Amino acid sequence: MILFRKAAAASDFLNGRRMSGKSIGFVPTMGALHAGHLSLVEKAKAENNLVVCSIFVNPAQFNDPGDLERYPRPIERDIELLTLAGCDVLLLPSVEDIYPREGLLHLHRYDLGHLEHFLEGRSRPGHFQGVANVVDRLLSIVNPDNLYLGQKDFQQVKVLEWLVAHTGRSTHIVICPILREENGLAMSSRNIRLDASNLEKACIIFQSLQFAAANYQLYAPSELQAICIKHIESIPNASVDYLEFCDTGSFQSVNDWRDAEHIVAVTAVMLSGVRLLDNMLIK
């Protein structure tokens, strides 16, 4: 695996590979890698000549400075995991390289429409502007044929679909399934901040989504929402930030199951100060 710390050097190298006809798959991450991230690398490997992964803890997408500070950064272990996974190129840029000339203070503003202030965007002001800024910059550096994103961050996928479409890129987005712990909890870099008891009880989030998928036709959306929230909040120290049923296309919430052909249940739960996201296609 070749490691680049400078965006320009990575770009030069990748341009050369592209000129010689190699297809490029790209997996952007914030590190603290787990099997979920590695499943994206594996899929990218199967579908491209060259796999590029980036690790960049993006300050622009953290609205809580404490969360940014506490974000795990086990870089040596990440390098080892990516090497073992057969990743070809690792991009490890500095903040200055991604946001040159005080760029962090003058972020580009994207017109993300309702996605910006809805659900995850409402709870984390500025978060999706930060995500759009960093991914736009990373796409300019890597210029991949295929971009691998996890369904785990469903709203983020919607934002990045918008970004790719509105910046005129030909990059194809590949959405990858959510990898889960044995008990069903969605894998996340933040899970290591949960103690054993919380780790065990957090499976109730997954179980609630499964219940929603199996029984949605028996209830109105608002009734099912209340049942799921109550179930999740039976975990001590858990509070549901949101649990919504959304049209997978428009990402607007539905008031009636007939409102959309495909519906996803999305939730964010604070458990002992740790933010856990999950979602499931229910229709």
Active site (catalytic) residues: 37
Q: How far apart are CB 74 and ligand AMP at their closest, in Å?
A: 12
Nearer to ligand AMP, 145 or 153 (CB): 153
DSSP SS3 for 94: coil
What's the one-letter identity of residue 250? S
Q: Which is nearer to ligand AMP, 153 or 244 (CB)?
A: 153
- Shortest reach from residue 257's CB to ligand AMP, in Å: 26
List of residues contacting ligand AMP (CB under 6 A): 29-30, 36-37, 39-40, 149-150, 152-153, 176, 178-179, 186-189
Angstrom distance (rounded) from CA 230 to CA 260? 25
Cβ-based nearer residue to ligand AMP, 150 or 221:
150
Shortest separation between residue 276's beta carbon and ligand AMP, angstroms: 11
Residue 29, classed as helix, strand or coil, is: strand
Measured from the CB atom, the residue of 54 and 253 that comes closer to ligand AMP is 54
Q: Which amino acid is at 9?
A: A
Q: How far lies 261's CA from each of 13, 25, 282, in Å?
A: 44, 30, 11
- The rounded distance, in Å, linking the Cα atoms of 187 and 277 is 10
> CA of 278: how far to CAs of 105, 153, 268, in Å?
31, 8, 7
CB 239, min distance to ligand AMP, A: 22
